[in-house]
Structure 1
Amino acid sequence: MNILIIGGGGMVGQKLAKKLAARGELDGKPIAKLTLADINDPARIEAPFSTRYTTCDISDRASVDATIPADVDVIYLLAAVVSAHAEEDFDFGYKINMYGTINVLERARALGTKPKLVFTSSIAVFGGEVPQPYDDNSALNPQISYGAQKLIGELLVEDYSRKGFIDGRGFRLPTISVRPGAPNRAASGFMSSIFREPLQGLPANCPVDKDFPHFYLSPRQCVENLVTAAEIDGAAFGKRRCMTMPGRVWTIGQMIDAMTAVAGPEPAKLITWNPQPEIQTILDGWRLDLRPQKAAALGLKADESFEDNIRYFLEDDLPGQ
């Protein structure tokens, strides 16, 4: 089994790579080679099989062609320009999120081997005047450029799969929290920072009130789901290849209560509550009542509680806590 993770330097990509290294196999087949590719040189991991690390600019077809080997079996396409960044820089967002996806799909098509391709989309494809709850058959109506770009990616994955060029499957990720590491430029970034920083004794600001609800998943369960996603038989998807990954809806207040239940009262005291209108404008276009029945039926799972999300962060990303 030869696996490629495009976006392998990012948080999810690194955790996925480590999970695959620990398993040593995917879909019942031993992993012979794993390649991590990103715009910057990805961090190395320990693995019992051959690993390769490379830089890749997915907006450059030649770079993509050099990155995706002819014998690849599974491609994880995780690389993206995230929400606030894509909204600020319209051209760059489309360059990476749309044209970059096209380049990856065209390289996969040119191979003629129909590799499996796992594409990470976003719940930002929902919004507008479409009535809630959102289920697997709801219309997609993104209200920000990032959502539009991810929706285009979904349609491409569907069509390339229908034509038999790839064995594609796409999953709209909930907001992933608690994310370790440095903040990124996602509008939802504060949904990790208000836990990550206080759990380390640092202040963090929340730009929305405690009643703000959203749809969440832990990094640990996200990675478990991405492994499962590559193991599902293509025929099981039917005529719809892209869907929402399971998650849970909690309010900010409920999440802070969960952190307090696990870590005590001190971290919550480090949260400030200063509005950020530029973030609120993006969040106002998001929707939250999602019913991901199809992905759940295919074996993907949500976290049981946000207390689990906090525990996973402490166990996986803050050793000794």
Structure 2
Amino acid sequence: MSAHSNTALKPATPPAAPASVLEVASPPAAPIKQTTMNSAPPRFELPAMTGRYLVRIGALLAAVLLWHLASSYGFNLLLNFENVPGPALVGETLVAQVTSSEFYVHILHSLKRIAIAYAIAVVLGITLGVMIGRSRWAEDIILPFIELLRPIPAVAWIPLAILMLPTEESSIIFITFLGALFPVVLNTMHGVEQTPPVLIRAARCLGASNRAILWHVVIPGAMPSIVAGLAIGMGVAWFSLLAGEIISGQYGIGYFTWTSYTLVQYPEIIIGMLTIGGLGTLCTLLVRKACTPLLRWQTQGARP
């Protein structure tokens, strides 16, 4: 065969693509990061809860600073700080009080009264609240007494409590009990009433008894309201305890505060007030922490 025929049998090579087509078809190479010795170090950020606690501490320190300025310069506009002792004097007096045993005797007496009265109020309040929320008969019989007695302040109960009860100690516990009872009853009642009826019907369709519905549907559904009532009741209990100890007590932080006023010991008045506030806050926090396992099913709120 000739050279011409051999050349014709070879496959034809395609023409070369233009340079612009190759640049468009091929993906761009990823840029190479160059690390330098002068790169910025990673930023350190505080946890969210730590930042919130710092804000709270800062707010308290700002309040103490305003208190110091108002008492130092004798601020007298709507509020008179001329006779109010400053934070430094109160701090010195507090150091002297915490080193004496009598101060702790007052605290222990108040804590004992709160524990007894609050325990009785929790048991009776939750029981009455569930009864009122589940039974119309109980609502018609019990609720009128609750609404009638609830607006009566703790101070108004003191003369009657002294007449009815054998000792001053029992009268103080009774007044404290009344203060904690009504918030627990009302919040429990509203929580039970707000239980979705569809859950109760579904439990009945599955064969649950009235007792099982109460323990596994109604009470867990009402638990957020019950916990709110327990927290509010603890605060009102301390308020009622203070009123009882002022009038008929011989020991207790309320008696300590009132005696300091009668003896014109102004720093001790503020120490008593701050002690009541601190103990009340601590007791409320303990109540919320103790109830946290009962609210594990509850979703978190929408607050950022």
TM-score, structure 2 length as denominator? 0.22
Q: Structure 1 or 2: larger strand share? A: 1
Q: Structure 1 or 2: larger helix share? A: 2
Specify the structure having the higher radius of gyration (Cα). 2
